[in-house]
Amino acid sequence: VNVTSVNSFIGCILLKIDLPINGEYTLLFINQNLHREFYATQDCQGLSIFEHSGIIKSMKKKVVCAGTFDHLHKGHINFLKQAKALGDELIVIVARDDTVKRIKGFLPTHDERLRRNSVEDTGIPDIVVLGNLDTDLFQILEVLEPDIIALGYDQRVSEEEILKRFPTCKIVRLSPFHPEKYKSSYYRNNHNP
């Protein structure tokens, strides 16, 4: 493959590969900070890259959920499965360490990369990303353009505020899964360093 714009792929992850049509492959890349998407097509001339303009849109129903996911437990797994069942593609946003500190007043036990990897290792989400470092927690949703936003039963997020900014989104509050046993605070309080 003749890649002339290698810099376009630095920091990108491959999301999907479409089957060849007329000898062309279409690949969708997204950078890890979710600021830009690139489509690349390969034909006999090599690889050509163009930035996603919004014209090409997936017909899949996209579900987004977010959380800290510290001390990943069965409650988190159930949360992810419920969210996944709402659509065709599940994107999970894992909160940054600094965001958790700012909102909850303490750092998570496990750092953001480990927490992201743990969620990814469940095999439930299609895509797992780290949240923005910006104080606007909803900014990343403008890039992801979800059809459905899945909220945990105990997430302190205003559904009204989300709907004001994303009026075409459906908001679903998920059911708890044995919260008397599976709660991150329980694991954090009983954590032996």
* Residue ranges in the chain modelled with pLDDT below 50: 1-10, 13-26, 31-58, 192-193
Q: What is the pLDDT of residue 186?
A: 54
Which pLDDT belongs to residue 149? 97
Q: How far apart are CA 44 and CA 165, in angstroms?
A: 44
117-125: which pairs have CB atoms within 8 A and are 24 or more residues apart? 118/69, 118/72, 119/69, 119/72, 119/76, 119/80, 119/92, 119/94, 122/72, 122/77, 122/80, 124/77, 124/80, 124/81, 124/84, 124/90, 125/80, 125/84, 125/90, 125/91, 125/92
Give me the pLDDT at residue 76, please.
95
CA dist 80 and 125 (Å) reads 7
Q: What is the pLDDT of residue 184?
A: 62
What is the rounded distance in angstroms from the CA atom of residue 43 to the CA atom of residue 73?
A: 45
Q: Note the pLDDT of residue 182.
A: 63
Pairing of strands 62-67, 89-94: parallel
Number of CB atoms found within 10 A of residue 62's CB: 20
**Whose CA is closest to 152, among 98, 71, 111, 93?**
93
Return the structure tokens found at 131: 């949240």
pLDDT attached to residue 32 = 45
pLDDT computed for residue 8 by the predictor: 45
Query: Going by DSSP bridges, is the β-strand pair 12-21/24-31 parallel, antiparallel, or unpaired?
Result: antiparallel
